[in-house]
Amino acid sequence: MCWSATADLAAGSAVAAIGVACVVRTRRVRDLPLAALPLLLGAHQIIESAVWHANGGTGPATVAWAVIALPVLALWVPLGVWCAAPSHARRWLVLPLVAGAATSAALGYGLAVRPVAAQIRGHTLGYVLDLPRPGLLVAGYLVATVGSLLLSGDRWLRWLGVLAGVGAAVCAALWRLEFISTWCAFAAVCSVVLLGWSGRRPTAVTSRTAGP
């Protein structure tokens, strides 16, 4: 989320461009889902510029924004991390992956049976969706997204998890004050981290053969 339609459009275009670079720089097929994450985040912000232009409401742009933000990201991130993670780290990613699948299913069902509305609140957009047990859903979402990055076994992705956790806390605080939404800035920073991660040279696994 950004503080205006223009800011969302500009930031979304920049993040999407970083996403293209991430995909191009990726060296392994199994890294592609995570490398494409900035593309999804960029599209997400561009969609939100349409929500600003519509003055919020319950239109298609609002629904599309909520679908990406809630069920899609809840599953995309842990699944992408699981695909990219080294085999020895995957056993630690079962919990975030299960949490992501369960949270995504619950959020998807909620969006299917309940309306979602966007409201302009000062320099932020608020999204209203009446869901049962919101605290449990937020916990599941954070375990799936931030938790999977922290448990990834990859230095770059662990730093990304720290940034995402800090960014979520700061943005939530500023959003509650209705001062300004800064998530677009954190999305850009996280996308730059993914750009560095996508261009890294995977560690080669070597084996030593005993002599005769």
Q: Which residue, 73, 60, 162, 78, is CA-closest to 116?
A: 60
Domain ranges in the chain are 5-198
- Is 159 in contact with 174 (CB distance < 8 Å)? no
**Residue 193's pLDDT is what?**
92
Helix ranges, 92-182 (H): 94-113, 134-142, 148-150, 155-176
Report residues of the chain scoring pLDDT below 70: 1, 171-184, 201-212
Q: What is the pLDDT of residue 91?
A: 93
pTM, 2 dp: 0.87
Distance between CA atoms of residues 212 and 205, nearest Å: 23
Q: What's the rounded Cα separation, in Å, for the pair 106 and 94?
A: 18
